[in-house]
């Protein structure tokens, strides 16, 4: 640790934290400062189009915003975006935010019924997708929806007013189940996302000299709100990879002299055993989040690469909350200290992590009852995660009060999977839980009561039309009965104690 610096503050000694990033206003207003200052610096690389400069992103997003405005979209309208990472996707995303549209980033693995739920709930006016099947599903869900490709192939329009939306206006609606129930839209304002990006700029010493290898999908907080927005906020550059492949990550790191890598623990698990893993020593910083990084993997990764991974903790509803320190000890198995601006308390027994701060969303889209439950009477957001702090103040996440399985960094809500399985005519009873798994962190398993053995492939085929593949059960146990308490509620912690009739 540097002499005199406080690891809990995260701040470099020279700079205080200002959640407004010096009164930037909206996200694109903050980004455009860099575009104006030095338009010739490179910003984004994708494998098909090579490098895009800051000025190119400014001009291209201006043009696409003109097209969207001409098509009748106006500030406050919602646009569902679901596409693989590419420069075109980034241009479309930036164009929407510059016009004041509210982006609903949506997983590309979603099936028709999952998309229909989001469309029915958020009522977007347009959708931007890169796949004909998903485009057809969206049109089926809402015949009035304008469905566009990532290039937004529409006639150009007159220059609209850009970057003028208020800081408090919504920027994103991220679908998540939160602590309970069906997926709901977490409404994040420009100010929320700006505060988080500014905290990360300071805490991770993220500068315009940094180059991020971005192999995460751009439809979740990690890839989009942290990776992409952080890059634009810092005036830095990023190399987009369409998917995660260890070989491609190593090649791109070398070819583009990357300085940063952000990943979920499954990615670190796959990188650590690669024969070229030691090449990652050249990076300035490796960051892990979205799921617990096992301390053993942290240590193995350091032995293989000399990188001490910096683990951090966040949520769709709050963007980033807690991080290990950049300059002081990064403690394996912990997520560190609250980021600048974030207040954190542990409440109840077992202690739940509750947070407050400029980064915390204002609530779920049109869900008054859920919002009453999500916040305490005195205004703290209940994360549904359980935690404790060690004597040095490092936070450890040691469980969840919410029913949630995290597989490879994707959230799976057992209830959603149980509902889909229950429609099977031979399934009399079902319970879905997460089982520890070295590669995925957790994998989805189903306990079934049924008159015969049902193989996992048959079960997956049955839910194929309803659930994205990452939600499918990977193991099925046929049992005599599910353990229930006196009120008839399934006791999920006792499921693995019963007699298994068949495993598939
Ligand atoms: C893919 N598959 C998964 C899976 N991802 N199964 C379970 N869990 C997952 N996460 C399955 C597919 O269904 C398919 O199986 C097979 O794996 C290969 O598919 P793929 O697309 O080629 O997979 P792969 O590229 O290997 O994907 C693994 C991964 C990916 C780790 C790269 O899951 C990923 O990008 N995860 C990151 C998710 C993320 O960004 N989370 C951030 C949430 S924000 P089959 O049998 O169907 O063919 C958040 C807040 C915060 O949590 O704090 O950051
Ligand atoms: P999401 O709803 O996809 O944003 O997922 C948020 C959840 O991911 C949190 O509530 C945590 O349960 C989990 N999470 C994120 N980062 C970490 C981490 N570093 N360690 C443990 N859990 C994490």
- Across the range 436-449, mean pLDDT stands at 97
What is the token pair recorded at 2?
Answer: 């540097």
- Which token pair is 294? 């096992």
Closest CA to 232 of 361, 106, 98: 98
Predicted pLDDT of residue 177 = 81
| pLDDT score recorded for residue 1 | 43
pLDDT tier for residue 179 given thresholds of 50, 70 and 90: low
Residue-level pLDDT at 7: 78
pLDDT over 70 at 118, yes or no: yes
Say how many Å lie between the CA of residue 290 and the centre of ligand 2: 4
List, for residues 358-410, the tens digit of each pLDDT value.
999 999 999 999 999 999 999 999 999 999 999 999 999 999 999 999 999 99
Mutating to test ligand 1, I would choose from 215, 409, 444, 457 the residue with most ligand atoms within 8 A of its C-beta, which is 409
Residue 460 has what pLDDT? Answer: 97
Tell me the pLDDT tens digit for each residue of 228-264: 999 999 999 999 999 999 999 999 999 999 999 999 9
SS3 string, 394-410, reads CEEEEEECCCCEEECCE
Kindly state whether residue 336 falls inside one of the protein's structural domains: no
What is the maximum span of the chain, computed from C-alpha positions, in angstroms?
Answer: 69
Q: Which of 267, 313, 321 to mutate to test the pocket of ligand 2 (most atoms within 8 A of CB)?
A: 313
Residue 4 has pLDDT above 90, yes or no: no
Confidence class for position 419, pLDDT limits 50, 70, 90: very high
Ligand 1, atom 2, lies closest to the CA of: 470
What would the DSSP string read from start to end of 340-381? TT-EEEEETTTTEEEEESTTS--EETT-HHHHHHHB-TTSPE
pLDDT of residue 2: 45
With cut-offs at 50, 70 and 90, classify the pLDDT of residue 461: very high
Which of 131, 360, 470 gets mutated to test ligand 1 (max ligand atoms within 8 A of its CB)? 470
Dist. CA 239–CA 228, nearest whole Å: 10
Looking at residue 500, its pLDDT comes to 78
User: Mean pLDDT, to the nearest integer, of 415-443?
Assistant: 96
| CATH value at residue 417 | 3.30.300.30
Distance CA 454, CA 425 (A): 12
Confidence grade of residue 3 (pLDDT, cut at 50, 70, 90):
very low
- Ramachandran sector of residue 238 (left: φ over 0; alpha: ψ -120 to 50; beta: rest): beta
CA 412 to chain centre: 13
Task: State pLDDT tens for residues 317-335.
Answer: 999 999 999 999 999 999 9
User: Which whole-number Å values give the CA distances from 248 to 217, 253, 320, in the listed order?
Assistant: 15, 8, 27
Is 456 part of a structural domain of the chain?
A: yes
Asked whether residue 475 is domain-assigned, the answer is: yes
Q: How far is the CA of 93 from the centre of ligand 2 (A)?
A: 24
φ, ψ at 398 (rounded to 5°): -120, 25
Give pLDDT, residue 5: 59
Residue 479 lies in a domain: yes
Give residue-wise pLDDT tens across range 257-294.
999 999 999 999 999 999 999 999 999 999 999 999 99
Q: What is the mean pLDDT of residues 65-74?
A: 98
Handedness of CA 26, 30, 35, 41 (dihedral sign): negative
Q: Which residues pair with 346 in a beta bridge?
A: 353
Name the residue range of residue 493's domain.
405-501
Helix H segments across 25-176? 27-37, 54-70, 87-99, 112-122, 132-141
Is 407 touching ligand 1 by the criterion CB < 6 Å?
Answer: yes
So what's the pLDDT on residue 96? 98
Distance of CA 235 to the CA centre of its chain: 21
Number of compact structural domains in the chain: 1
Q: Is residue 436 part of a domain?
A: yes
For residue 414, is it within any domain? yes
Of 280, 288, 278, 284, which is closest to residue 309 (Cα–Cα)? 288
Query: What is the rounded CA–CA span in Å between residue 357 and residue 322?
Result: 12
Residue 164 CB partners (closer than 8 Å, separation 6+): 26, 29, 100
């Amino acid at each position: 640790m540097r002499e005199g610096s406080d690891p809990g503050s995260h701040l470099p000694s020279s700079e205080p934290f200002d959640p407004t990033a010096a009164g930037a206003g909206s996200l694109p207003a903050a980004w455009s400062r860099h575009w104006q200052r030095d338009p010739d610096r490179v910003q984004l690389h994708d494998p098909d189009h090579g490098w895009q400069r800051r000025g190119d992103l400014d001009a291209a997003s201006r043009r696409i915003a003109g097209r969207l405005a001409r098509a009748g979209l106006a500030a406050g309208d919602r646009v569902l975006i679901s596409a693989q990472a590419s420069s075109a996707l980034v241009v479309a995303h930036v164009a929407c935010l510059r016009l004041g549209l509210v982006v609903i980033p949506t997983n590309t693995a979603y099936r028709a019924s999952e998309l229909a739920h989001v469309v029915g709930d958020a009522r977007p006016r347009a959708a931007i997708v890169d796949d004909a099947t998903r485009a057809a599903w969206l049109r089926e869900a809402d015949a009035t929806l304008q469905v566009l490709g990532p290039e937004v192939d529409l006639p150009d329009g007159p220059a609209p007013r850009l970057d003028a939306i208020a800081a408090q206006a919504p920027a994103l609606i991220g679908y998540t189940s939160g602590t309970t129930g069906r997926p709901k839209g977490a409404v994040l304002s420009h100010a929320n996302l700006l505060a988080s990006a500014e905290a990360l700029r300071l805490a991770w010493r993220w500068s315009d000299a940094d180059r991020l290898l971005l192999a995460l999908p751009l439809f979740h907080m990690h890839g989009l709100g942290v990776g992409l927005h952080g890059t634009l906020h810092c005036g830095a550059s990023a190399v987009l990879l369409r998917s995660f492949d260890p070989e491609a990550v190593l090649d791109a790191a070398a070819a583009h002299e990357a300085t940063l890598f952000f990943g979920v623990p499954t990615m670190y698990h796959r990188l650590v055993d690669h024969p070229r893993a030691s090449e990652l020593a050249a990076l300035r910083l490796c960051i892990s989040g979205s799921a617990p990084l096992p301390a053993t993997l942290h240590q193995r990764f350091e032995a293989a690469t000399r990188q001490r991974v910096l683990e951090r903790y966040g949520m769709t509803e709050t963007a980033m909350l807690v991080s290990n320190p950049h300059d002081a000890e990064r403690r394996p198995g912990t997520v560190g200290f609250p980021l600048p601006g974030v207040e954190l308390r542990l409440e109840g027994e077992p202690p739940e992590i509750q947070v407050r701060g400029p980064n915390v969303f204002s609530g779920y889209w049109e869900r008054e009852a859920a919002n009453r439950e999500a916040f305490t009477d005195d205004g703290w957001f209940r994360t549904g995660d359980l935690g404790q702090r060690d004597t040095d103040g490092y936070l450890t996440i040691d469980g969840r009060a919410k029913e949630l399985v995290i597989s490879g960094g994707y959230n799976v809500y057992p209830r959603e999977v149980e509902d889909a399985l229950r429609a099977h005519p031979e399934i009399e009873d079902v319970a879905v839980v997460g089982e520890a798994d070295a590669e995925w962190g957790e994998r989805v398993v189903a306990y079934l009561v049924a008159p015969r053995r049902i193989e996992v492939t048959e079960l997956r085929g049955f839910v194929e039309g309803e659930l994205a593949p990452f939600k499918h059960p990977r193991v099925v146990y046929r049992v005599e009965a599910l353990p229930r308490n006196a009120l008839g509620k399934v006791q999920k912690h006792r499921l693995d104690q019963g007699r298994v009739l068949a495993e598939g």
